[in-house]
Amino acid sequence: MKCTRLVLIGPPGSGKGTQATRICARYDIPWISTGDILRAAVKAHTPLGIQVQMLLSAGELVGDDLMIDLVRERLAHEDTARGFVLDGFPRTLVQAEALDQMVGGKPLLALVLEVPEAELERRLTSRRICTRCKTLTTSNSLYGSEEELCSKCGAVLITRDDDNIVTIRARLENYRRLTAPLIDYYQQRNWVARIDGTRPPDEVTRNIARVIDERMDLRDC
């Protein structure tokens, strides 16, 4: 049997969420977005949500211990038996080492979405999310200039709380400093595939799927 254990690495705005939804549908594996889990906790005012709310709105990272416990618990669910798409984890070396332990040292495929910083800032400041179906879109209008509706379900689109220029710069800086070194960490084991994230979304999906199918050596259960 083949398993598809994927780790998406890329700066905020590189298209991780968009690609994760498509890849998990194609390979029938769950999408695990730590950002979504945390935002849902904030919205529901759970103890976790209350604890992380300030960090999220400042664009700062949540502590490694908390994140590791959260992901360990999620990976214990049966639906991950044939693999998973991790989006937003690991984000630090400590998290990457913990993940290796969680999967018992089995190989992962780290997909690195590459997009230049100027393009990321442009995408993030114009990013909108649907309040109902959570679809992401890029807006043409300036923030707050007019109400926009989701092309899929018609509900109102909003800007994510942490998509403001100050927070965006903090998130990009954290990515450069803490997360980008993970590329070397996985490269040492030859588990990295670099993907050009500036291509149109469908093309990016095709390129990711091609790499996954080529690297069957990384898909042992």
What residues line the site for Zn ion (CB under 5 A)?
130, 132-133, 135, 150, 152-153, 155
Q: Which of residues 69-88 bind ligand ADP (CB under 6 A)?
A: 88
d(CA 121, CA 43): 25
Site for ligand ADP in 107-146 (CB under 6 A): none
Q: Which of 177/210 has CB closer to ligand ADP?
A: 177
SS3 content of the chain, % helix, strand, coil (to 5): 50, 15, 35
User: Given 134, 160, 199, 215, which residue is catalytic?
Assistant: 160
Specify burial of residue 95 (Cβ count, 10 A radius: 0-12, 13-18, 19+).
buried
Tokens of 27: 């390979």
- Number of residues in the chain: 221
Interface with ligand ADP by CB under 6 A: which range of 30-38, 43-51, 77-85, 187-195? 30-38
Catalytic residue among 5, 74, 91, 219: 91
Does residue 59 interact with ligand ADP by CB under 6 A?
Answer: yes
In whole angstroms, how close is the CB of 188 to ligand ADP at the nearest point? Answer: 21
Min. distance of Cβ 86 from Zn ion in angstroms? Answer: 25
Q: Closest separation between CB of residue 196 and ligand ADP, Å?
A: 18
Stretch that binds ligand ADP, among 40-48, 54-62, 102-110, 147-155 (CB under 6 A): 54-62
Nearer to ligand ADP, 84 or 89 (CB): 89
Instruction: Please work out, in degrees rounded to the nearest 5, the angle formed at the alpha carbon of residue 92 by the alpha carbons of 86 and 95.
Output: 60
- Distance, CA of 29 to CA of 25 (rounded, Å): 7
Contact present, 90 and 5 (Cβ < 8 Å): no
- Spatial contact of 88 and 35, defined as CB atoms under 8 Å apart: yes
Regarding 205 and contact with ligand ADP (CB under 6 A), the answer is no
Told to judge if 127 belongs to the known catalytic residues of this protein, a careful annotator would answer yes
**Of 118, 113, 92, the residue nearest 182 (C-alpha):** 92
Give the C-alpha distances (Å, rounded to integers) separating 119 from 8, 13, 81, 114, 125. Answer: 19, 9, 36, 11, 10
Q: Which is nearer to Zn ion, 51 or 139 (CB)?
A: 139
The binding site for ligand ADP (CB under 6 A) comprises: 12, 34-35, 38, 55-56, 59-62, 67, 88-89, 91, 95, 171
